Amino acid sequence: MKFARRLTAWKSLLTKRAERTRIRDEDCLPLDTMSQEAQKSSVITIEHAPEYAGEVVTVRGWLYNLRESGKLLFPIFRDGTGVMQGVISLKEQPQAFEALKGLTQESSVIVTGMIQAEPRAPGGCEIHIQAVEVVQKVPESSPYPIQLKEHGVDFLLDQRHLWIRTPRQAAILRIRAEAIRAARNYMDAEGYTLTDAPVFTPAACEGTTTLFEVNYIDDQKAYLTQSGQLYVEATAAALGKVYTFGPTFRAEKSKTRRHLTEFWMLEPEAAFAHLADMMDLGEGLVSAIVQSVVKNRARELAALGRDVSKLEKIAAPFPRVTYDEAVKVLQTAGNPTKWGDDFGGDEETLLSKEFDKPVIIHRYPAAMKAFYMATDSERPELSLSFDMIAPEGFGEIIGGGERQSDYETLVRRIRESSLPEEAFQWYLDLRRYGSVPHAGFGLGLERTVAWICGTEHIREVIPFPRMLYRVYP
RNA sequence: UCCCCGGUAGCUCAAUGGUAGAGCGUUCGGCUGUUAACCGAAAUGUUGCAGGUUCGAGUCCUGCCCGGGGAGCCA
């Protein structure tokens, strides 16, 4: 009902805007009218502009801001790779001056001019404009809604399709891409094969209350996956060492800065692997991701104002404490946690503040972990599980452990968890036909990227966040 | 589901129960080195919705809607 109401509101808002935004023909220039200057000069991206000092080049992008000072204009252009200031005087370039004067924010432009080092310009160089082609002028009657000033969260999320144009958001999305690339490179180099888990599933992997139910063909019900875990166990028995990387969905009624209803997980699984192997893999993976971002996305981290010295310290090995020890640490710090309690956000933050690296907590009580988790043979009340908590209070980024490989125990755990046994027959086959010890984990991409970027809220690190009561745009 | 905070111009926010305002953006004018430029002027309102109290409600009361933060749960 809430969605329906909001959708109606959005539709009327969009209709109103469309009425205001009728674009006139004279606002647009066909691309074949490119000036002779533009046709002669080489097209470059702003990130490489300093390398072209002294040369005449063409930049294609959008007008980010325009400062006017009489017969002198200072437009700032952005092209997705960065922003660069331009300068133009009425006296020297009257035609281009008129084209730029009064031009509205986010109008699309093709600009030709000479790159010059300029200490007074943000970024250290600027373009002395010789020719401008306005590809599309944003009409004054409906100016670009996002200004160069503070905005509220609700407004920005409604404008997410435009918000991602701002330099800060663009930097975050580039860091996300780098994190994904680094993670896949690391997993591939470790001999893991990428396999994909289905998005439609017949039953729950985690709790049943957080499933998104969808109508499948012919009145069947299906559910959006909460985790690729069970499928990756099957492919591990087929290929040995595997991982999935894809979206997962949880209908948790959670409104916190750490939650999305749709988020991406990287889930490795290896046959004949044990808890310690996965803790090693997890710290190696996280180190590789962080170091790759530090090395290849220094500009973006600087744009975010991130303290890179904290990230530079992130290298394996990470500190490891058992659940038993963690409870003692918390109690010593005056926290009321008792043995058997799960750790909430406060407890995680308290524990992570003890270290300047992610901390691994292992061997949680079996009662608080999922049905497929193996138990410690020496202390059956403990599970062979581990979590990795990010520093600086960014919360749990990895959860995993060794899987229950015994058929009878697994059947009993499925019954105890009130899960539909028939839906898990294929999964139980993995214990009928050549069951082996195996282990894996899930790494939450957005929480990891949020920590690396130091963002206040996880919603900024995914292009189009899906959250409780928000599926637009 | 529960607790706390909020909803006023396109945006960010003001406004002892007593004439709804400012800055930004937009429009018009000025300015040859601006840094979210600056200076001058103009236009812009169903104060989330519905009731109630009152001579009078943006302000107080009740209900509802919407959003934010957090708890539980989780990556």
Q: A130 and A166, same structural domain?
A: no
Most confident by average pLDDT, A12-16, A56-60, A69-73: A56-60
Residues A262 and A248: beta-carbon distance below 8 Å: yes
Question: Do A49 and A103 belong to one domain?
Answer: yes
My answer on whether A109 and A171 are in the same domain is no
Protein CA at A121 to nucleotide C1' at B33, angstroms? 9
Query: Does A214 lie in the same domain as A71?
Result: no
Flag residues 419-458 of A with CB < 7 Å from strand B: 442-444, 446-447, 457-458
- Confidence band for A286, pLDDT divided at 50, 70 and 90: very high
Phi first, then psi: give them for residue A66, nearest 5 degrees.
Answer: -140, 120
In a domain, A471, yes or no: no
Q: Name the pLDDT band for A206 (thresholds 50, 70, 90).
A: low
Q: Say yes or no: A178 and A132 in one domain.
A: no
My answer on whether A100 and A167 are in the same domain is no
The pLDDT, as a whole number, for residue A34 is 55
Q: How confident is the model at residue A11 (pLDDT cuts 50, 70, 90)?
A: very low
**How many domains does chain A fold into?**
2
At A129-142, the pLDDT tens digits run: 999 999 999 999 88
Percentage of residues of chain A with pLDDT beyond 70 = 90
| Residues A185 and A87 placed together within one structural domain of the fold | no
Domain extent, residue A279, equals 162-461
Task: Report which of residues 329-348 in chain A place their beta carbon less than 7 angstroms from any atom of strand B.
Answer: 342, 344-346, 348
CA distance A381 to A375: 7
Does A15 reside within a domain?
no
The answer for residues whose C-beta is within 8 angstroms of residue A161's C-beta and 6 or more apart is A464, A473
Give the per-residue pLDDT at A10: 47
Is the same domain home to A186 and A306? Answer: yes
Q: Is residue A181 part of a domain?
A: yes
Q: For residues A302 and A270, is the Cβ–Cβ distance under 8 A?
A: no
- Whether the beta carbon of A120 falls within 7 A of nucleic chain B: the reply is yes
Can you give the CATH number for the domain in which A368 is found? 3.30.930.10
CA-to-C1' span, A9 to B49 (A): 14
Question: CA A213 – C1' B32 distance (Å)?
Answer: 64
For B27, which residue's CA is nearest its C1'?
A: A140
pLDDT digits (tens, 9 = 90+) for A347-386: 888 888 888 899 999 999 998 888 899 999 999 999 999 9
Q: Identify whether A193 is part of a domain.
A: yes
Has residue A9 been placed in a domain?
A: no
Helix axes A275-296, A445-453, angle to 10 degrees: 40
Q: What mean pLDDT is predicted for residues A153-172?
A: 92
Residues A131 and A170 in one domain: no
Co-location of A180 and A301 in the same domain: yes
The CATH number of residue A36's host domain is 2.40.50.140
Give the per-residue pLDDT at A197. 95
A113 and A184 co-located in one domain = no
Residue A262 lies in a domain: yes
Mean pLDDT of A199-221: 78
Q: Do A226 and A117 share a domain, yes or no?
A: no
Q: In whole angstroms, what is the distance from residue A340 CA to residue A381 CA?
A: 10
Which pLDDT value is given to residue A208? 60
Q: Report pLDDT digits (tens) over A430-451.
A: 999 999 999 999 999 999 999 9
Predicted local confidence at residue A207, as pLDDT: 55
The pLDDT score that the predictor gives to residue A19 is 41
Query: Is the residue at A286 inside a domain?
Result: yes
Residue finishing a domain among A71, A102, A136 = A136
